């Protein structure tokens, strides 16, 4: 068995992220080196993990990347730490690519998180049901997921806790977090506030860590699950660039912070040097860069600041117009549009690389996994290549002024949902710029990073 734990919940909102952050903070306070992971495609939780541990957190997504990639990712990043913590997604058994399936793939034990608010002895029935359900749900899997501990959330009192733990059979209760903890991560339309916005003060993290150490038996957790082998330096999987011919500028600030760390590592593997800059506060692009990569984020929240940074808007527009390579996803696509209408209908002008506007839509989330077939050669690969990612956004291209009839703009993505149903074509191309609403995981196709670098080099030769 690999070293580590999966922290899984009975349902979304049961306290997984709070308890995960608390356990990470408690382990760090005990002087342990801990590596965190997140099941599924979520960018925000991985950023919050990183705030606590000081180490990049990794997404483990079987649908996007496949079992071999996920297993290798977990193994390689777990080798030089004392303990690995995987935060699950939704409820333990929810979805075809569930947390239970991930735990089974990695052969990791599960600690089940149960929200005890509003119940007492019924908690035992819930825990028992989750243990029994695995054998019904996963009949074809030999090594069933192993629920080896339980942590309760929102316990009201010592008496409440005693009633809860007395109801649980056949699995150890490792502890709880109290109802009056008063630790909350602010929410907004896409979920939790991002790490880049510093959603919690250090003293709150300290209070959370202390609550975990007081109410959860962390010594038992460490003794039971930690890697007892001596830690030793390992090959990180990529090497520092040496006389690299390709330098990629990554837009990174409070407005743009949704990147898979693996994507950046895979680019470095192919010899890229990564530098960061801010579309909000920098007046010009970094020097001597060969390509620009603008990820997702919350440009609608910072639209006014982005719009006021005229010199950067002009620099990005001129870069695109001169035929230099640029790739943008989701929030990055919004930045490259003519402008953004926020939820109140206020308009902020953007870089105008593409002749359409984007607008925020309340209650109309575009959410789900995406299969992408390339209809043309582009920075992500060759025609007929298949790549995968996901969408999660509340904005849309404004249909009345889409401007997509322009002969300069083409689409090179045929997009399908995870059931194979075709969706609207996208992957908008202008000269050597590609922009899309789909967040592509470069681990979904082993050729993506190589194609990305080769495209940049070919563009250099042509210009």
Write out the catalytic residue numbers: 330
CA triple 72-439-367, angle to 5 deg: 110
Q: How far is CA 383 from the centre of its chain?
A: 27
**Alpha-carbon distance 330 to 328, whole Å?**
7
Q: Which two tokens stand for residue 452?
A: 């990305």
**Alpha-carbon distance 448 to 441, whole Å?**
9
Q: Which two tokens stand for residue 445?
A: 């196709």
**Alpha-carbon distance 294 to 282, whole Å?**
14
**Alpha-carbon distance 307 to 419, whole Å?**
39
Element (H, E) at 123: helix 122-137
Task: Say if CB 371 and CB 417 are below 8 A apart.
Answer: yes
Beta strands in 361-440 (DSSP E): 366-374, 386-393, 395-397, 409-417, 426-430, 433-436, 439-440
Q: Which two tokens stand for residue 40?
A: 């599924």
Q: Dihedral of CA 188/191/192/198: which sign?
A: negative
User: Strand, coil or helix: what is 256?
Assistant: strand
Q: Which two tokens stand for residue 325?
A: 């390579």
DSSP string covering 330-356, please?
A: THHHHHHSSEEE-TT--EEE---SSS-
Q: Which residue is it, tokens 């743009």?
A: 256
Alpha carbon dihedral 320, 322, 323, 329, in 10-degree steps, equals: -10
**Alpha-carbon distance 362 to 248, whole Å?**
35
Task: Say if CB 395 and CB 361 are below 8 A apart.
Answer: yes
Residue 422: Cβ within 10 Å count: 11
Contacts of 180 (CB under 8 A, 6+ apart): none
């Amino acid at each position: 068995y690999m070293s580590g734990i999966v922290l899984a919940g009975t349902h979304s909102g049961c306290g997984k992220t709070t308890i995960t952050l608390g356990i990470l903070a408690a382990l760090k306070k005990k002087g342990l080196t801990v590596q965190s992971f997140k099941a599924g495609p979520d960018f925000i939780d991985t950023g919050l993990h990183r705030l606590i541990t000081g180490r990049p957190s990794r997404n483990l997504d079987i649908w996007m990347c496949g079992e071999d990639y996920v297993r290798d990712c977990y193994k390689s990043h777990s080798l030089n730490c004392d303990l690995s913590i995987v935060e699950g997604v939704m409820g333990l058994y929810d979805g075809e690519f569930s947390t239970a399936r991930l735990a089974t793939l990695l052969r990791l034990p599960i600690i089940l998180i149960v929200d005890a608010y509003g119940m007492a002895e019924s908690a035992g029935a819930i825990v028992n049901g989750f243990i029994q359900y695995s054998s019904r749900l996963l009949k074809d899997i030999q090594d069933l997921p192993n629920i080896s501990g339980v942590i309760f959330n929102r316990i009201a009192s010592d008496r409440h806790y005693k009633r809860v733990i007395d109801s649980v059979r056949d699995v150890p209760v490792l502890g709880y977090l109290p109802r009056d903890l008063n630790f909350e991560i602010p929410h907004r339309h896409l979920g939790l506030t991002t790490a880049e916005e510093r959603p919690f003060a250090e003293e709150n993290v300290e209070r959370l860590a202390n609550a975990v150490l007081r109410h959860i038996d962390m010594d038992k957790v460490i003794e039971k699950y930690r890697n007892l082998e001596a830690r030793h330096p390992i090959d990180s999987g990529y090497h520092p660039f040496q006389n690299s011919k390709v330098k990629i500028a990554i837009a990174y600030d409070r407005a743009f912070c949704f990147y898979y760390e693996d994507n950046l590592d895979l680019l470095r593997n192919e010899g890229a040097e990564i530098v960061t800059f801010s579309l909000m506060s920098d007046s010009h692009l970094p020097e001597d860069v060969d390509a620009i990569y603008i990820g997702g984020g919350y440009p609608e929240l910072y639209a006014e600041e982005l719009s006021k940074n005229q010199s950067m808007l002009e620099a990005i527009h001129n870069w695109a117009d001169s035929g230099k390579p640029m790739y943008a996803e989701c929030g990055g696509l919004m930045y490259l549009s003519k402008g953004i209408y926020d939820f109140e209908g206020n308009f902020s002008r953007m870089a105008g690389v593409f002749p359409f506007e984007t607008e925020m839509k309340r209650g109309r989330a575009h959410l789900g996994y995406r299969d992408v077939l390339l209809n043309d050669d582009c920075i992500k690969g060759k025609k007929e290549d298949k790549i995968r990612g996901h969408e999660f956004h509340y904005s849309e291209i404004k249909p009345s002024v889409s401007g997509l009839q322009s002969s300069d703009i083409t689409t090179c993505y045929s997009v399908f949902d995870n059931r194979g149903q075709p969706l609207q074509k996208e992957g908008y191309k202008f000269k050597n710029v590609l922009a899309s609403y789909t967040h592509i995981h470069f681990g979904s196709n082993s050729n993506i990073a190589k194609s990305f670098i080769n495209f940049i080099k070919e563009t250099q030769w042509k210009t």
